Amino acid sequence: MNFTRTQIPDVVICNPKIYGDHRGYFCETFRKDSLEEFLGFKVDFCQDNESKSSFGVLRGMHYQLPPFTQSKLVRVLEGSVLDVAVDIRKGSPYYGKSVAVELSSENKKQLFVPRGFAHGFVVLSKTATFAYKCDNFYAPSYDRGFLFSDKKVNIDWKLSYGKLVLSEKDLNQPLFEDAETFDYFQNLYEEEYSGHRI
C-alpha cells in the first residue's frame, strides 16, 4: 500500500498495489500496521458499512460529535464516486477547506478521512457500491451535518444541481457556519486518541 497526503495533510489517499495476470488480480485493501505507521497514531476500526446508490445520488455532508467522532477509510467496490472531506476543526488552518478525490472500482484508491472532518460523496457512474470502515460506532444522537451546497465551503460536485438526488435530511442540513463543529485537531486528538499515540 502506498500513501499520499492531500492538500489537507491529515486526509490521506491510500493506493493499494495491484497484482494481476490472466486469472484476474489481487490486492491488499487494508493493513493496520502500515496505515498506523504512516499516520503516526493507532486507528482501531470497529464497524464496516456498505451502500449502493444510483447516478447523481449525493450523501453528505456528515459527521459525528465527540465522544463519537469517527475516522473513516472509504473505497468503491463498483462504479465511481467523487469523495469529499471537509475540515470542521475550529482553529485549524484548513477549517472549511475541502479535499475531493475520485474513487472507483477501476483505480481502487481509498481515502482516509480522520476525526474532525465531515464526509460526503456523489455517484458519477450508473451505480456505485461504496464501503467504509469506521473507528467508532454509529451514534444517531451525535450525528450532525451541514448543507452540501453551502457557498462558503464551495464544493464542486462535478454534476449540475438538477442531476443530484438527495434525502430530505441532506436537503435540510444547516449552513456550515450554523453547524455544530468542534475544536482544532490538537485538542480533539488529545481527548479522542488519549493512549493511542504510537
pLDDT band at 195 (very low <50, low <70, confident <90, very high): very low
Catalytic amino acids? Answer: 62, 132
Determine the pLDDT at residue 185: 55
What CA–CA distance (Å, rounded) separates 70 from 67?
Answer: 9
Determine the topology of domain 2-192 in CATH. Jelly Rolls (2.60.120)
Residue-wise pLDDT for 35-57, tens only, equals 999 999 999 999 999 999 999 99
**79 Cβ contact list (under 8 Å, min separation 6):** 104, 105, 123, 124, 125, 126, 127, 128, 129
* pTM attached to this predicted model: 0.92
pLDDT band at 182 (very low <50, low <70, confident <90, very high): confident
Q: What are phi and psi of 139, to 5 degrees?
A: -130, 95
For the chain, give every domain's residue range: 2-192
Q: Which long-range contacts (CB under 8 A, 24 or more apart) does 7-11 make?
A: 7/97, 7/99, 8/85, 8/87, 8/94, 8/97, 8/98, 8/99, 10/87, 10/114, 10/116, 10/117, 10/185, 11/85, 11/99, 11/111, 11/112, 11/113, 11/114, 11/117
Q: Which of 189, 9, 3 is nearest to 99 (CA)?
A: 9
Checking if the pLDDT of 197 tops 50, the result is no
Taking each continuous run of H as one helix and of E as one strand, the counts in the chain are 3, 15
Determine the pLDDT at residue 157: 98
What CA–CA distance (Å, rounded) separates 26 from 146?
Answer: 38
Residue-wise pLDDT for 59-118, tens only, equals 999 999 999 999 999 999 999 999 999 999 999 999 999 999 999 999 999 999 999 999
Question: Across all residues in the chain, what is the average pLDDT?
Answer: 93
